[in-house]
Amino acid sequence: MTLYSTVGNLPFHDFQVNITTSGKRVAEKFRLQPELPGVIITKSTKMLGMISQVRFLEYMKLPGNKDFYSKKPVSELLDVLSTPPLVLSENFQINAAVLTALNRPKNYVYEPIVIVLSNGNLRLIDLHDLLLAQSEILLKAYKMIPNRTEKYQSEISELFPQDEDNDDEHTGLLLESKSPVDPIKNKLKK
């Protein structure tokens, strides 16, 4: 990771289903792959929405929902559970993606992010993975600061060498020089 790494460098998940896919199939996939952050619902190749695993499972735990929606197509859950997805290009920088994600309304902040790859395919990134990547970038930047500071200080020393016997000669000359205002002040006093 570098300061300019993009979301395309992050691990992503590919779980997409057509609008006719049953809620039962989605639930089974989440059970088998608990690391999946959510599911993208499509019609042909167009994304209709995204449902996070957390919202899906919480909703299915409510009385009667599991039996009802396990037999219905997942598209019927879109009106109830779909959140406005944050859709970013794979070239979006990680630091900018974190700011964008955290500026969503509070009830959507932890929702997965939809990434559009250069070939047009859609993928999901978990906010947790995005934040870990940003932490890694910030840690590397923090570690670079002392090295850069030392490097720049040595470059400045080479440009403006200090003679230990002679205090800053340039500053001394400036302090000794007379102000152009002094002659005017003297005339006004007389």
| CATH code (residue 49) | 3.10.580.10
Number of domains in the chain: 1
User: Which range (44-53, 80-89, 131-140, 163-172) has the least confidence?
Assistant: 163-172
DSSP per residue, 11-35: --B--EEETTSBHHHHHHHHHH-TT
Q: Is residue 24 included in any domain, yes or no?
A: yes
Residue among 104, 45, 36 at smallest CA distance from 56: 36
- What phi and psi, each to the nearest 5 degrees, are found at residue 147? -65, -45
- What phi and psi, each to the nearest 5 degrees, are found at residue 113? -115, 135
Tokens of 164: 């230990």
Q: Is residue 63 included in any domain, yes or no?
A: yes
Mean pLDDT of the chain: 85
Q: Is residue 124 included in any domain, yes or no?
A: yes
Q: Is residue 139 included in any domain, yes or no?
A: no
The pLDDT of residue 163 is 57
Question: For residue 86, what is the DSSP state?
Answer: E
The pLDDT of residue 67 is 79
Q: Is residue 73 included in any domain, yes or no?
A: yes
Q: Is residue 89 included in any domain, yes or no?
A: yes
Domain that holds residue 61: 7-134
Q: In what order do the strands lie in the sheet with 46-52?
A: 16-18, 38-43, 46-52
* Residue 76, C-beta contacts closer than 8 angstroms, at least 6 positions apart: 23, 69
**Which carries the bigger pLDDT value, residue 149 or residue 70?**
70
* Residue 117, C-beta contacts closer than 8 angstroms, at least 6 positions apart: 8, 90, 123
Distance between CA atoms of 31 and 169, rounded to whole angstroms?
Answer: 75
Residue 174 has pLDDT above 60, yes or no: no
CA-based angle 129:133:135, to the nearest 5?
115
Q: Is residue 166 included in any domain, yes or no?
A: no
Q: Compute the average pLDDT of residues 4-9.
A: 94
What is the value of pTM for the model shown? 0.73
pLDDT digits (tens, 9 = 90+) for 115-146: 999 999 999 999 999 999 999 999 988 887 77
pLDDT interval class at 65 (50, 70, 90):
confident
Q: Is residue 41 included in any domain, yes or no?
A: yes
pLDDT interval class at 72 (50, 70, 90):
confident
- What phi and psi, each to the nearest 5 degrees, are found at residue 95? -60, -40
